Amino acid sequence: MSTQEDSLQGTFGEAIKNAKAAMARVDEARLRRFIQSQPDVRELGSMSPLSYPTGGAGASNGIAFFTAEIDCGNGLQAMDLVLRYSPGVTLLKQKSFADEFLTVRAVHALGHLPVPNVLWLDADGSRVGFASYVMERVVGDAPSGPMYSAGPLADVTPEKRKEMMLEAAGFHGRLRKAAIGPVQVPHLARRGTGANAIEQELSWWAKELQLVIPADDPKAVQVAGLYRWLIEHQPEAYSPNLVHGDAQIANMMFHDGHIAAVLDWELSYLGHNESDLALVVFLTETHKVIDKHVDGTPTEEEYIERYELESGTKVQHWEYFKLLNMYRILSVVLLSRPFMPNFEPYWAYNVGYLDQAWSQARLIA
């Protein structure tokens, strides 16, 4: 292991732990009144105290588990529920719980893609105290940010790990095949500004950085240079579809070795699913550096093969969308600087990967 890799071990997990520790807590009485007020709730019986997970994936939103007895027309029945809420200080300033809620509901309505069933939305936080929504809890192994040392990919054979990770690529292929567009998710058509889907997504992240990071910050200047290159060299791509936007395998729950639910749709947008696949490929190797080395992970070629099998179409403009993915990653890393231990070596690692991807993209630009 190199000195750089040694310094990065545990970085991701520690950053998530730090962010979760700073999250606000929810007033349980307000949550109870919010649920009681829903038109499909005839009666709310007992409700357990909220339980806040300290591990798992996700650092930009609060999560609380609880069980409640609810009558939605068939008498009081125990329901295992999850509250997803704004944690107070937000990493993403343009985050919309309404958009995320509507996106998950649209995907769930298709009936063949594994997402939670979302129930009730408090878009502005006026009822619960924080912008939030309630969804049904999915049975499965909880995802983990450091995905090789904890969670469903940790204690399995290399063969099973590869099978599960390829299934993740297959999901994004099936999402591509579903071709969920502006008709199903019209709220996402408002995301960003620009002449097309690529420009709109790039501009959304540019605004996130502008809201938090000074324009003359050397790292922001570096990211801005990549932004300009991507605008100037964008390809002619197919009509935009729904893209998950945060396609970490750590955002997937597994049950009996298969995907039970795909979570965290807050970064979803109308774009091109190759960028989701590019993130899966990138994080497969990156987590061996920032988490721990494991065997049995797919190669880039194996991921692409599975994606193409499930999507029924060929990957397009792969080198460009790998680079677009790095623009989004560098933006997230820069925004996460206050929570990130070993920030400088982690930034350097990502820039090194960027340089490789940019060199490859320039060859075909």
Instruction: Indicate the pTM of the whole model.
Output: 0.93
Q: How confident is the model at residue 8 (pLDDT cuts 50, 70, 90)?
A: low
| Strands of 132-136's sheet in order across | 43-47, 62-71, 76-85, 132-136, 118-122
pLDDT confidence of residue 145: 82
275-299 mean pLDDT = 95
CA distance 233 to 320: 8
Distance, in Å, from the CA atom of 308 to the CA atom of 108, rounded to the nearest integer, reads 23
Q: How confident is the model at residue 20 (pLDDT cuts 50, 70, 90)?
A: low
pLDDT bucket at 1, cuts 50 / 70 / 90: very low
Q: Residues 35-62: pLDDT tens digits?
A: 999 999 999 999 999 999 876 555 678 9
3-state SS, residue 64: strand
- The position carrying tokens 């390829």 is 166
Domains of the chain: 12-136 (3.30.200.20), 158-364 (3.90.1200.10)
